[in-house]
Amino acid sequence: MLPFAAAVVTPLVYRVLRERTAYYAAAVALACFGMVASQLGTSGSVSYQWIPSLGVSLQFYVDGLSLLIGFLASGVGVLILTYSGGYMHGEPGKAKYYTALLAFMGSMLGVAFSADLVSLFVFWELTSLSSFILIGHYTDRRSSQYAARKSMLITVSGGLFMLIGFLLINHVAGTFAMFGPSGILSPENAAMTNEQLHAAGLFVPALALIAVGAAAKSAQVPLHIWLPNAMEAPTPVSAFLHSATMVKAGVYLIGRFRPLFLPEGVHVIPDWMLLFAVLGLVTMTITAILAVAATDIKELLAYSTASHLGLIVAGFGFASEYGAETGAFHILNHAMFKAALFLVAGIIAHEAGTRKIKHLGGLWRDLPITAAITVVAALGMAGVPPFNGFYSKEFLFESAYHAAHVHGGLAWLFPVVAVFGSIFTFLYSIRFLMLFFGEKPKGLGHVHRPPLTMLVPPAILGTIAALIGLGGVTDTFGIAPSALNGFVGSVVESTLPPAAHAEAAEAVHFSYHLPTSVTPAATMSAITIAVGLVAYQYYDDLHRGINRLLTVNPLRANWWYDNAVYGLNDASVETIPHVQTGLLRTYATWSLTAVTLLALGGYAAAGVALPSFGFAAGMTPSLALVLGVAVVGAFAVSIAPSHISGVLTLSILGFMVAIFYILADAPDLALTQLVVETLTLVIFLLVLDRLPTFYGEIKRSRAVRDGVLSLAVGTTVFVTVLVTTVADPANSIAQTFLDYGVTVEEAGGHNIVNVILVDFRGFDTMGEISVVAMAALSVLTLIAMRERGETQ
């Protein structure tokens, strides 16, 4: 709650602190980091009732995976907010910027620690809303508006798919709780929930729906298209949302649900592995190729982010423990080197005045410290030993080779594609690194050195990345970074299937080191680097060739998105003149048509069968005669030649209903019906005095249309009455009001209707009377104004 509370008061704080609001926000993030750190080594959940009647609670859970995301959201948040103090100097909308950034951090922490499916969804969508504000920070730019709208449309839509998946799980498991005694992800319940989903035939639908949500958030192909456009946001936002936090929500979701959907000891390729290993490797490869085609440094980093997210998704997709280690370790490694590189990109853009790759080069002369940071981060991104990204890339190669070795056949494509995609990763990483080396372009003048507030955060990130890489070197010689290994091991443990979790809870041991022998993974790494070094000589040819391919519209995902969205816009423009005519008749026609289609379609989709019906046991000839006259009156209304005759025949229907109540021993209802019918008739006649005495001409086509619609509406009402009245609850609410002790002794009335209106629905009745009274006062006021000659 701290980030949200701090966000609420940020506009007031900004009035006092102005530019120094960045340090206030950074202090809030630091406090959050301290609170997350205080949970290190603990595990468990706390719960607060939210909607008890639906079993929804505000529940939070702590384990290795949630702590990892919590550390990234708060720890990287401290650095990003500090960096913003220098970068956002002179920028517009800083109060809004810091408010949205704090709200986003709180939402991300909520996603990380939520242990209830509904609260997870709420925080999930809050990240989308706050990122919409941040991506569209420059509200006067059309490109920012386009980027924010695209991001919102894709990520929020994906969240809705995810919500349906959650509801399917709730339908089967009967709970929204993720952890605790009845939680679906608890080790003792995960396998049972898995079996229940299979038994109900909902395993694949639930898996696919949740996968859409995760893929939309983590920019997996073909939903990756929002991420490059999101680079319209200020660079600190890009570094925070699109490298360390928001896009990590999708991979967090995959890791979190891995124990539920991935059974232990599978001997064939499970649905989980088929879906996520393929999706991750395809995303990793395609977006790495697109990164080579990039012309802007932030565009290159955006595509590379999607590529590395694909690596993480593929890692979690593989069923082996290597896969879990890949996903867990690369979340950490990617956040370190990618956040550092985004901040470096911000320094370049801020100090050099351009982000165009072809206009940059030889920057180390003016930015030596930034160049050193880039060397560590870019080589980590490339997967070059001994930098941090190398080790998690090795785990990916190990898991891909292991899957191919176990399953054989087409599964051998896994290591082949992993190496192929990694070659392009190597290429664009080296290209980014070369911004600092080689000759300085003639048009690039002197590049100023950044202020300390912009230099220290990427330096800290680069140092952490270097220390992680150094840990692999020391571990090779027997000096393991035990604290880091223990923490990553706890993250891996959170993503293991329940059987392995139960049996090997004490045996989960994570370590990483340089290869000491020729292994398949080491061979794959050697091939990647060797081929990458050779191919880099032809980087410009590859860059031009890929861009030529992208001139073919159907090969671009953006072309499909734009045509779909703008096509819908065109369809909306064409539809408006037919729907919004300003005529009440048109609105009634469309509204009734929509309601009828939705109701009847819903009944058909749900397989609702009509109950048997017939004359009630108490039906007498007199009752049947009255109802028959009512039907004749209803038919006569449709052929009445004038307004007067139509209203009079309509009143026949109302009075027949009143007589029906009398014959059915319901005098109170009959009296009410008679009063209402009489008043309605009088009012109608008064109004008709102002209308013409004839209906006028009507087109035959319109008459046919209205007749068909009338039959459809009548059918819908008839079916709805049948379906809703067939229910026969065991404990009818009427029994409560028939109780003498309740109605007479407690409420003091002998008329049930009066008692219900006055005592049991007292506030409702008072509200209804208030509405009527307000309407009457308004009418009187209008009449009085008219008598005074006022027109406005």
For residues 258 and 294, membership in a common domain is answered with: yes
Give the pLDDT score at 581. Answer: 85
For residues 636 and 519, membership in a common domain is answered with: no
Domain end call among 710, 731, 752: 731
Are 636 and 652 in contact by the 8 Å Cβ rule? The answer is yes
Are 123 and 111 in contact by the 8 Å Cβ rule? The answer is yes
Are 321 and 294 in contact by the 8 Å Cβ rule? The answer is no
Per-10-residue mean pLDDT for the chain, 792 residues long?
A: 88 87 91 90 81 84 91 89 85 88 92 92 92 89 90 92 93 88 85 88 92 91 88 84 78 91 73 91 94 92 92 92 91 91 88 87 89 94 92 94 90 94 94 90 80 88 93 89 89 80 62 91 94 94 93 88 88 86 87 94 86 74 88 84 83 89 86 90 83 71 88 92 77 76 82 81 85 91 74 53
For residues 214 and 287, membership in a common domain is answered with: yes
Residue 62 belongs to some domain of the structure: no
The CATH number for 692's domain is 1.20.120
Q: What is the pTM of this model?
A: 0.80
CA–CA gap between residue 489 and residue 328 (Å, rounded) = 9
For residues 612 and 552, membership in a common domain is answered with: no
* Angle subtended by helix axes 271-292 and 246-261, to nearest 10: 160
Residue 524 belongs to some domain of the structure: yes
Are 313 and 251 in contact by the 8 Å Cβ rule? The answer is yes
Domain end call among 709, 731, 753: 731
CA angle 399, 403, 406 (to 5 degrees): 135
CA 584 to chain centre: 37
3-state secondary structure 403-462: HHHHHCHHHHHHHHHHHHHHHHHHHHHHHHHHHHCCCCCCCCCCCCCCCHHHHHHHHHHH
Residue 741 belongs to some domain of the structure: no
Residue 200 belongs to some domain of the structure: yes
3-state secondary structure 601-665: HHHHHHCCCCCCCCCCCCCCHHHHHHHHHHHHHHHHHHCCCCHHHHHHHHHHHHHHHHHHHHHCC
CA–CA gap between residue 641 and residue 693 (Å, rounded) = 9
Residue 366 belongs to some domain of the structure: yes
CA 222 to chain centre: 16
For residues 302 and 392, membership in a common domain is answered with: yes
Cβ-Cβ contacts under 8 Å for 543 (sequence gap 6 or more): 292, 293
Domain end call among 731, 759, 787: 731
Angstrom distances, CA of residue 750 to CA of 108, 518, 743, 759, 764: 58, 93, 7, 12, 21
For residues 502 and 390, membership in a common domain is answered with: yes
Give the pLDDT score at 647. Answer: 85
Work out the burial of residue 352: count CB atoms within 10 Å of its CB; fewer than 13 is exposed, 13-18 middle, 19 or more buried: buried
Counted domains in the chain: 2
Give the pLDDT score at 694. Answer: 61
For residues 661 and 619, membership in a common domain is answered with: yes
Residue 314 belongs to some domain of the structure: yes
Work out the burial of residue 648: count CB atoms within 10 Å of its CB; fewer than 13 is exposed, 13-18 middle, 19 or more buried: middle
* Angle subtended by helix axes 117-135 and 246-261, to nearest 10: 160
For residues 219 and 366, membership in a common domain is answered with: yes
748: its two tokens: 């003091």
Question: For residue 507, which phi and psi values (nearest 5 degrees)?
Answer: -95, -5
Give the pLDDT score at 730. Answer: 67
For residues 364 and 431, membership in a common domain is answered with: yes
For residue 228, the enclosing domain spans 148-556
Residue 267 belongs to some domain of the structure: yes
For residues 590 and 546, membership in a common domain is answered with: no
3-state secondary structure 743-755: HHHHCCCCCHHHH
For residues 389 and 280, membership in a common domain is answered with: yes
Give the pLDDT score at 565. Answer: 87
Give the pLDDT score at 523. Answer: 94
Are 245 and 68 in contact by the 8 Å Cβ rule? The answer is no
CA–CA gap between residue 235 and residue 242 (Å, rounded) = 10
Closest CA to 677 of 657, 707, 703: 657
Residue 249 belongs to some domain of the structure: yes
For residues 453 and 523, membership in a common domain is answered with: yes
